[in-house]
A and B are shown apart, each in its own frame.
Chain A
């Protein structure tokens, strides 16, 4: 079961990383940060792609995979674009920290 213990280590370290990454966030950024993190959680696209690629011609499985890919990409693409739209409004002018 070395692959399992490896996966569990990955889970643990990933969680610790997530806990450390976000310390102090200025309230200004709560909305965009939530939206950006949400886009990243669309990383499920990888699972959808794996499902499709390993479907072996099983029609129902291909359809489930395709559907899931659609949902996940909607999350990813919509999420990143909408975050960018929000953040673009903060840019352009001089932003001196979080004031």
Chain B
């Protein structure tokens, strides 16, 4: 390795580290992302200069680059913001697959050159790469709603199954260094892939973001192992960095959701413990004191309200109602009301997801208020409108120690004078748990699709002359 390559690698590592650091701050995040991308490009150019690939090699490099690059470009542009967690899972799975394939290639065709260290690294790379891949794909499929949580995965049977798979991985992994291209390799690929599925499948949808973050950390580990396999220090350092940072991020997310990593990984789906239906929704969860009201009544309450807080949840995003919500908020502001949005740390499908979705609808950043800031404000709030959020406004989390949500920080909307919950039906929330908020005397349910209801509210308010007296301010 000559001096120039060393210098390029060092600069690339430095820029990657700076990029990662900058990504954790609002002001610098975007340029930091660019910086990390630049560092990656630099590392690739540096490596190509050093490797001097032949003409056939260039052909395959071009083919791989074109296929992966175009697919990545199209996916990144087309995917809706609501599907962001799934998308990250998909990308992550492919990263794991890449590490797996590199290790396979070396194990099958270059094993004479591979010393013991490289062979051990192959084991790690195959194992972690395969788990990352299959786990990420399962996570994606569950978030997309393509996969349910099968009942058998909630029994303790799954621990036995996963332990046997882990033992199989260990056996194959121990046998592999002596026989790198034989049965242990394929056994390891198979057992690790199944283990990734077996571990991810029982986890409930609400916990999926944590799993994705953890798998993201794994793909860093897989990359570092691939670095040992091909002998690239840059790969080792970058992989280790992502692996460690991913672990911290996973921990931060767990804290935000008031869950421990162990209970996420081994506890099964949240609703299962409550005896509710898992992932099914649908059932009416035994509510007895539900008051429902029409959009007209809701509009009347809004017209006289001075302080309105919206609580947006994933249901809002699914209904693509962010823009209708922004429209309604503008009308209310023109009517002299103070409008804010209460953002729970895990609103949407993962921390920060809702901020992205509302930013897309041009909601001013200053109106998004985080939980700790808004909770003391609820007692002096006239009207709260809950849109497609459920578990994050469940008062049981504070008062009922038997609730599976107990201890989770929630938005204290039950303190407000009047609460309207816009919901399609009385189905249980994502975690499959009944919501005590719905039965409170100050709560009224407005049944319907979030977007349709919001549009009706706008029409109703306009017909009462709201927003026409003063021109709508931007």
Chain A residues close to B by CB (< 8 Å): 3-4, 6-7, 10-19, 21-55, 57-58, 60-91, 93-99
A-B contact pairs, 27 of them (CB 8 A): A7-B231, A17-B17, A17-B241, A23-B24, A27-B256, A27-B346, A28-B355, A31-B84, A33-B24, A36-B19, A36-B23, A37-B249, A38-B216, A39-B33, A41-B239, A45-B44, A46-B232, A50-B51, A50-B232, A52-B53, A62-B60, A73-B65, A74-B71, A80-B36, A80-B37, A80-B40, A81-B72
Chain B residues 82 to 112 lying within 8 A of chain A, measured CB to CB, are 84-85, 87-88, 91-92, 94-95, 97-99, 101-102, 104-106, 108-110
Q: How far is B64's CA from A29's CA once the two chains are assembled, in angstroms?
A: 32
Chain A residues with CB below 8 A from B36, complex form: 36, 39-40, 80
Q: How far is B227's CA from A72's CA once the two chains are assembled, in angstroms?
A: 14
Interchain CB contact under 8 A, B72 and A43 = no
> Which 7 A-B pairs rank lowest in CB-CB distance, beginning with the nearest?
A18-B244, A73-B68, A69-B64, A14-B240, A78-B72, A30-B351, A77-B72
**B39 to chain A: closest residue by CB:** A40
Chain B residues with CB below 8 A from A86, complex form: 81, 84, 356
Q: How far is B216's CA from A75's CA once the two chains are assembled, in angstroms?
A: 11
Chain A residues with CB below 8 A from B33, complex form: 32, 36, 39, 80, 83-84, 87
Q: How far is B21's CA from A18's CA once the two chains are assembled, in angstroms?
A: 9
Interchain CB contact under 8 A, B64 and A66 = yes
**B117 interfacial by beta-carbon distance below 8 Å:** yes
Residue of A15, A37, A65, A87 near B29 (CB, 8 A) is A87
As a 0/1 sequence over residues 1 to 36 of chain B, the CB contacts with chain A under 8 angstroms (1 = contact) are: 000000000000000110111011111011011101
**B43 to chain A: closest residue by CB:** A46
Choose the segment among B165-173, B218-226, B312-320, B331-339 that binds chain A (4+ C-beta atoms closer than 8 Å): B218-226
Interchain CB contact under 8 A, B44 and A46 = yes
Chain B residues with CB below 8 A from A60, complex form: 108-109
Chain A residues with CB below 8 A from B353, complex form: 31
Q: How far is B239's CA from A62's CA once the two chains are assembled, in angstroms?
A: 24
**B350 interfacial by beta-carbon distance below 8 Å:** yes
Residue of B98, B233, B364 near A44 (CB, 8 A) is B98
Known: A14-B224, A31-B350, A34-B88. 8 other contacts (CB 8 A): A10-B240, A14-B239, A40-B220, A52-B57, A53-B57, A64-B101, A75-B98, A82-B79
Interchain CB contact under 8 A, B352 and A28 = yes
Q: How far is B227's CA from A14's CA once the two chains are assembled, in angstroms?
A: 12
Chain A residues with CB below 8 A from B356, complex form: 31-32, 86, 89-90
Describe A's contact surface by its main secondary structure: helix
Residue of B57, B229, B249, B369 near A47 (CB, 8 A) is B229
**B466 interfacial by beta-carbon distance below 8 Å:** no
Interface size class of B (residues with CB under 8 A): 35 or more
Interchain CB contact under 8 A, A30 and B352 = yes
Interchain CB contact under 8 A, A76 and B17 = no
Q: How far is B71's CA from A25's CA once the two chains are assembled, in angstroms?
A: 31
Chain B residues 44 to 93 lying within 8 A of chain A, measured CB to CB, are 44, 47-48, 51-54, 56-57, 60-61, 63-65, 67-69, 71-73, 75-77, 79, 81, 84-85, 87-88, 91-92
Q: How far is B30's CA from A91's CA once the two chains are assembled, in angstroms?
A: 8
Interchain CB contact under 8 A, A22 and B24 = yes
Chain B residues close to A by CB (< 8 Å): 16-17, 19-21, 23-27, 29-30, 32-34, 36-37, 40, 43-44, 47-48, 51-54, 56-57, 60-61, 63-65, 67-69, 71-73, 75-77, 79, 81, 84-85, 87-88, 91-92, 94-95, 97-99, 101-102, 104-106, 108-110, 117, 212-213, 216, 219-220, 222-224, 226-249, 252-253, 256, 345-346, 350-353, 355-356, 359-360, 364-366, 368-370, 373
Chain A residues with CB below 8 A from B102, complex form: 44, 47-48, 51, 64-65, 68
Q: How far is B245's CA from A22's CA once the two chains are assembled, in angstroms?
A: 6
Interchain CB contact under 8 A, B44 and A49 = yes
Q: How far is the CB of B237 from chain A (nearest CB, A)?
A: 4
Q: How far is B237's CA from A72's CA once the two chains are assembled, in angstroms?
A: 17
Chain A residues with CB below 8 A from B108, complex form: 60-61, 64
Q: How far is the CB of A52 from chain B (nearest CB, A)?
A: 5
Interchain CB contact under 8 A, A16 and B40 = no
Q: How far is B367's CA from A93's CA once the two chains are assembled, in angstroms?
A: 12
Q: How far is B26's CA from A95's CA once the two chains are assembled, in angstroms?
A: 7
